[in-house]
């Protein structure tokens, strides 16, 4: 029997009252395992009001006490890792190892946020003028909100609320309605860690909930991760209502493969980065660009048997390379992209369409697919597929290869595989992409750096987590102070006088 999920408002589970729900599936079986409530505008406003009420007290809590909550939350995440990973896999479909990685990468941002007493320090200048001191302070914004995607239901919420709350803000999270159980559980654990009620609220919903967060005057900042079309809408709507916005969009990440690269290692990396988590990653390597005919032929020769031998299995299967896709709609959408690639003339060397797992024919499975001779005029190069599909685009020269990611509408991540330091350095410096890997297939920065793409992969000027995240979730106040003792007669401090 499917369970009824809830919102988490003011430190407690709250049943939905809108009368609207959406089924949550187990992607392995295709069965509906839960119903998530879709909040009305009034329900979202209740979450916002709870966070607004909690903000003054939390903002006034000194940084080391806020850090202690983060330290305790980190411990609880570690203690509950297995539970969170199993819950995540049962709704998303990624294998347990990937689910643990999802939680771990979010946990690392919480570790970073434990250093908030240092990270939130301002600057001080003694003697900026005669008997004048000048200093700045970073202060929290107020109520912040996050709209998070289905593909990383643990990591991305923690990327957002971990830094925001450590800085003294309160937070309303609107998770994906496809797999909301982990964000709800994170909120429970955060309260257990010692956060006051209202500091973190989770409200489930669809566009009505999103639009309420974007337009409510009490919300000061919005963070989003999802498709570029929606990211652009989030940015435009939030900014029009006076909010600070960071909105991360889609991606088409290229791997440039030079003739001197270690092809065995490259193939290992392409298999993991291109097909892991069923390709449902915004940092998945979905385009391989071998330089030169020989490099391309050798790469294809090595890739075909590896893609054909990918093991697609249950999310609980420890031997599986990847599990099912999150929904039947997503699986069918990927199959449609493969259809289009064939229609437009790409060579489909390995076809994952029609794959079924014996005994789980109703699950949302699709096999790995491999295209060769993809060209930049094809839709499968232009658009994000978000599935286990790798496209090989051949290039004659390094310059031609490097131009492909630079010219693409997306600019999230890119990688180059080479032993040539000069080529790598030149590529990293000049490529028009926000995150670059040199012999690293998925160059997601660690928590103390920041995550963010360029072009249509990101809207807004500030990246996720790291010191950029602290900047996003705080505002700078600068104080110029003078005490009258010792001020010389006739001195003036009115700009532009120079007395």
Q: Which residues are catalytic?
A: 282
Residue 432, classified by CB atoms within 10 Å of its CB into exposed (0-12), middle (13-18) or buried (19+), is: middle
Instruction: Quickly count: other Cβ atoms within 10 Å of residue 383's Cβ.
Output: 15
Q: What order do you get walking across the sheet with 132-140 strand by strand?
A: 124-129, 132-140, 474-482
Alpha-carbon span 430 to 134, nearest angstrom? 39
Query: What contacts 24+ positions apart, CB below 8 Å, involve 18-24?
Result: 18/43, 22/177, 22/206, 24/91, 24/177, 24/178, 24/179, 24/180, 24/181
C-alpha–C-alpha distance, residues 494 and 497, integer Å: 6
Evaluated on CA atoms 206, 210, 211, 212, the torsion sign reads positive
Please classify residue 14 by burial: count the beta carbons closer than 10 Å to its beta carbon, then call 0-12 exposed, 13-18 middle and 19+ buried.
Answer: buried
The pair of structure tokens assigned to 81 is: 């890792």
Between CA 306 and CA 274 the distance in angstroms is: 12
Contacts 24+ apart (CB under 8 A), 18-22: 18/43, 22/177, 22/206
Count of alpha carbons within 13 angstroms of residue 212, beta-carbon side = 22
Of 140, 370, 399, nearest in space to 270 by CA = 370
User: What is the H or E stretch that residue 339 is in?
Assistant: helix 328-343
DSSP annotation string for 308-336: HT--B--TT-TT-SB---S-HHHHHHHHH
CA angle 391–395–397, rounded 5-degree value: 150
Q: How far apart are CA 398 and CA 416, in angstroms?
A: 10
Structure tokens belonging to residue 19: 């009368």
SS3 294: helix
Q: Compute the half-sphere exposure of residue 485: CA atoms within 13 Å on the CB side of its CA.
A: 0
Largest CA distance in the chain: 91
Q: Read out DSSP for 405-439?
A: HHHSSEESEEEEE-S-HHHHHHHHHH-S-SEEEES
* Neighbour-count burial for 104-122, b at 16+ CB within 10 Å, e otherwise: ebbbbbbbbbbebeebbee
């Amino acid at each position: 029997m499917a369970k009824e999920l809830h919102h988490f408002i003011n430190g407690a589970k709250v049943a939905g009252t809108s009368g609207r729900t959406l089924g949550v599936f187990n992607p392995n079986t295709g069965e509906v395992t839960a119903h998530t409530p879709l909040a009305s505008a009034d329900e979202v406003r209740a979450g916002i009001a709870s966070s607004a009420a909690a903000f003054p007290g939390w903002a006034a809590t000194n940084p080391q006490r806020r850090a202690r909550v983060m330290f305790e939350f980190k411990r609880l995440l570690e203690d509950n890792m297995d539970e969170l990973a199993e819950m995540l896999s049962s709704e998303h479909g990624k294998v347990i190892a990937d689910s643990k990685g999802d939680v771990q990468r979010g946990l690392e941002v919480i570790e970073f946020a434990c250093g908030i007493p240092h990270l939130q320090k301002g600057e001080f200048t003694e003697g900026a003028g005669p008997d004048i001191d000048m200093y700045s302070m970073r202060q929290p914004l107020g109520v912040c909100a996050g709209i998070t995607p289905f593909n990383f239901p643990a990591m991305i919420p923690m990327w957002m609320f971990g830094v925001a709350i450590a800085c003294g803000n309160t937070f309303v999270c609107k998770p994906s309605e496809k797999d909301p159980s982990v964000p709800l559980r994170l909120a429970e654990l955060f309260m257990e860690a010692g956060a006051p009620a209202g500091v973190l609220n989770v409200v489930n919903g669809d566009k009505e909930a999103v639009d309420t967060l974007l337009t409510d005057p009490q919300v000061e900042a919005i963070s989003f991760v999802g498709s570029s079309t929606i990211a652009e809408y989030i940015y435009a709507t939030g900014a029009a209502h006076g909010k600070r916005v960071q909105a991360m969009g889609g991606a088409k990440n290229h791997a440039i493969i030079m003739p001197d690269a270690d092809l065995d290692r490259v193939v290992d990396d392409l298999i993991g980065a291109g097909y892991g988590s069923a390709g449902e990653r915004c940092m998945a390597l979905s385009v391989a660009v071998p330089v030169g005919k020989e490099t391309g032929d050798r790469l294809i020769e090595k890739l075909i048997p590896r893609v054909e031998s990918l093991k697609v299995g249950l999310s609980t299967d420890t031997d599986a390379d990847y599990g099912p896709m999150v929904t039947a709609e997503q699986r069918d959408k990927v199959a449609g992209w493969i259809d289009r690639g064939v229609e437009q003339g790409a060579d489909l060397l390995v076809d994952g369409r029609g794959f079924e797992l014996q005994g789980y024919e109703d699950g949302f499975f699709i096999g790995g697919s491999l295209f060769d001779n993809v060209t930049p005029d094809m839709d499968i190069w232009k658009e994000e597929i978000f599935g286990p599909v790798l496209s090989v685009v051949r290039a004659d020269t390094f310059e031609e290869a490097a131009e492909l990611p630079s010219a693409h509408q997306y600019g999230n991540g890119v990688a180059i595989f080479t032993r040539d330091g000069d080529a790598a350095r030149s590529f990293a410096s000049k490529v028009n992409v926000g995150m670059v890997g040199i012999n690293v297939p998925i160059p997601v920065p660690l928590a103390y750096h920041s995550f963010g793409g360029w072009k249509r992969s990101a809207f807004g000027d500030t990246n996720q987590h790291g010191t950029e995240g602290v900047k996003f979730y705080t505002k700078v106040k600068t104080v110029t102070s003078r005490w009258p003792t010792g001020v010389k007669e006739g001195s003036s401090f009115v700009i532009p006088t120079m007395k």
